[in-house]
Structure 1
Amino acid sequence: MRAVVQIGLAVALAVAIAPFAAFAQDGNSSGVVASADAGSAPSAKSVREANRRLAKSVRTAMAKAKGIDMTQLFVYAKGGVVTLSGSVPKSNQVDRAGEIARSVPGVSSVDNRLSVYAIER
């Protein structure tokens, strides 16, 4: 009976240790490659912050420009692509807003979805 218990404990120990042995490194692999890949990718938080900064820069440039009504104009940025949405009172402001957004450093392209709204009298 005692031998059966010892064999059972040995089998249980082998089963418990087996998963850890599967993750052991061999002599040819190194952890340097894995850590270099992990360090080179920007975090999601830093990407969101960069997008917010770019959108704010575009909004600031438009606010400084003359002739753009910003009351219903929204600016979104993602990876250098700026999206303009909302509406402006005059059609020339649609093109002007796109030009201003393209002139901001860091903007790779502009998706201009602005529309013209009619002013009620």
Structure 2
Amino acid sequence: MEAADVALAKQVKTALDQDPDLAKLNLLVTNKKGDITIDGTMTDDQQMVRTGEIAQNVPGVKNILNNMMMAK
């Protein structure tokens, strides 16, 4: 993974962790050339929506693949 990819993934993770509701989910964020992938579990659908909104607002993000699953 390129340094720029790692840096953008960290920026998205930092932005997500600034939301107290999302920070507690401990989401995994990866990036390849602006294509962000988010993995983790959620407790309600609004967390997935909010995650996408926050990630999309980070400069450099082109696409988001949200792999969040509902916690059992």
TM-score by length of 2: 0.88
More helix by share: 1
More strand by share: 2
CA positional deviation for 1:51: 0.4
Q: Which residue of 2 aligns with 1:93?
A: 47
CA positional deviation for 1:88: 1.5
- Whether contact under 8 Å (2:25, 2:40) holds in the other structure is no
Following superposition of structure 1 onto structure 2, how do residues 37-116 of structure 1 map, counting pairs within 5 Å? Answer: 48-68=2-22, 69-71=24-26, 73-116=27-70
TM-score by length of 1: 0.55
Which structure carries more relative contact order (alpha carbon 8 Å, separation 6+)? 2
Q: Which residue of 2 aligns with 1:6?
A: none
**Structure 2: gaps of 5 or more residues:** none
Identity %: 34
CA positional deviation for 1:85: 1.1
Cα-Cα RMSD? 1.4
